[in-house]
Amino acid sequence: MATTAGAEFRKIFNWDGVGTSSGDYTNVTLEAQSPAGTSFTLFNSSAYYLYLGHVSKFDMAIFDVDTAGSLGALTWEYSNGSDWTEFIPGSARFEIDPDDSEGAQYAFDKDGAEIFPSNLLSISWATMTINSNALYWVRVTAASVTTAPTIKRIQMRPYASYCTTKDIYELLQLKNVLNGTDFTSSTVPSQNNVEQYIMEAQSYIDMNTRKSWRPNYVANEYQQFNLNGFKLSKLDPYKILSLKIWDGNSWATKTQGRRNDYFLVPDTGMIQFSRFFLLPARFTSYNAMVWKWGGGEFTMPVKVSYLAGRDIGTDIRQGGIASDLAKKKAAIDVVRSSDFGGTVVGGMDRVSLEQRIASWSNELDETIDSLKAFEVF
């Protein structure tokens, strides 16, 4: 099975919140790109900001924490070209379990991920120059710092994970129609529109194949308790962020590892328990003297958050196929949304758009079927 990892940010800075010279920004990009590298500290004080920057838009940041932080309220902002716009991140919108004292929003106190909803950021999100780097930026600061977290790695998920807008431009050979080398804010369709088509193509492929070639954050998936373990619902899980079991009083966090409480078998998508857990039994019937697990408050008493998906670059069997499908699916939407004179250049001949779309559509249907995941339970 192919393993996965998020993409790397182009630049990551820890800013002291005071000066604007290069010395006021601590560049931790290299440290954040190496899982075996030296841990680095964020939020040395409440004045500090974490800056996350990339050449294209992104909708997720993934954090591997070495030492848990204890922070006050977090403020997230994105660059709008000349200033910063505050937004509420995705994790703050998750439903809060009234029996779980731990808040839903990510707080740098454990391994986890933060979501940046595309519908909130894409409208005015623009590149801005920070410390001589013109990138799309998201930054975060804490109202107070009791304990500064140390981080082992930070990764991201770009909007366009399966292909790029330039890939679509080249597939359609639009340099013969629009000139240039890629879509821009002034082309029709614009680069933002094409990014949206790519995101829709990615979702279409994921839904129809039951697989995914990008990191997916699954928050608080509830499972029935089973001493023999259980299978996670999302295919290709590769990192467990947290696992909790309802013990009758609270959600008890368990420790990952074969010598601890549980471990993940990525090839099967199974969580296996390393230690014997006994949930309180519940009397279920006066007629039949039966005691069993999973009744009443112990229904679905396991709660797990994890990351799942394949790496489209290292999945040598199917990654290239998924990428090609995304290009053609997005290209079909580009053609249907715009008028390029009725033709696309194809070698020495000029092939009608209708013929090209029909060919790609047939190929999509046939190839999707070959990628579908089938499982025997």
Residues in contact with 366: Cβ distance below 8 Å, sequence separation at least 6, in sequence order: none
Domains and CATH numbers, the chain: 11-158 (2.60.120), 165-213+312-371 (no CATH), 216-308 (no CATH)
- The predicted pLDDT at position 285 comes to 43
d(CA 130, CA 142): 20
- The predicted pLDDT at position 295 comes to 61
User: How distant is the alpha carbon of residue 298 from its chain centre?
Assistant: 31
Do residues 335 and 197 make contact, with C-beta atoms less than 8 angstroms apart? no
Do residues 50 and 5 make contact, with C-beta atoms less than 8 angstroms apart? no
pTM: 0.86
- The predicted pLDDT at position 160 comes to 92
- The predicted pLDDT at position 268 comes to 92
Tokens standing for residue 84: 């910063």
Beta bridge partners of 151: 40, 65
- The predicted pLDDT at position 113 comes to 93
Residue with tokens 């489209």: 312
- Using alpha carbons, select from 79, 74, 73 the residue that is nearest to residue 54: 79
Tokens standing for residue 226: 């089973």
Rounded to 5 degrees, what are φ and ψ at 79?
-80, 135
First to last CA, the chain: 18
- Using alpha carbons, select from 206, 236, 237 the residue that is nearest to residue 368: 206
Q: Compute and round to an integer the Cα radius of gyration of the chain.
A: 24
- The predicted pLDDT at position 345 comes to 52
- Using alpha carbons, select from 53, 147, 114 the residue that is nearest to residue 241: 114
Q: How many CA atoms lie within 13 A of 300 on its CB side?
A: 6
d(CA 35, CA 8): 12
Tokens standing for residue 316: 């040598």
B/e letters for 306-331, b = 16+ CB within 10 Å, e = fewer, are: bbbbbbbeebeebbebbbbbbbbbbb
Q: Is 216 helix (H, G, I), strand (E, B) or coil?
A: strand
Tokens standing for residue 274: 């390393």
H helices present in the chain, as ranges: 29-33, 118-121, 165-171, 191-209, 319-337, 353-371
- The predicted pLDDT at position 253 comes to 92
Q: Max CA-CA distance within the chain?
A: 83
Residues in contact with 215: Cβ distance below 8 Å, sequence separation at least 6, in sequence order: 4, 5, 6, 60, 62, 113, 155, 157, 307, 308, 309
- The predicted pLDDT at position 356 comes to 81
Do residues 221 and 230 make contact, with C-beta atoms less than 8 angstroms apart? no
Checking DSSP bridges between strand 58-67 and strand 133-142, what pairing results, if any?
Answer: unpaired
Residues in contact with 66: Cβ distance below 8 Å, sequence separation at least 6, in sequence order: 39, 149, 150, 151, 152
Q: Which residues of the chain have pLDDT under 70?
A: 1-5, 37, 92-95, 101-104, 120-122, 276-295, 339-353, 373-377
Do residues 235 and 97 make contact, with C-beta atoms less than 8 angstroms apart? no
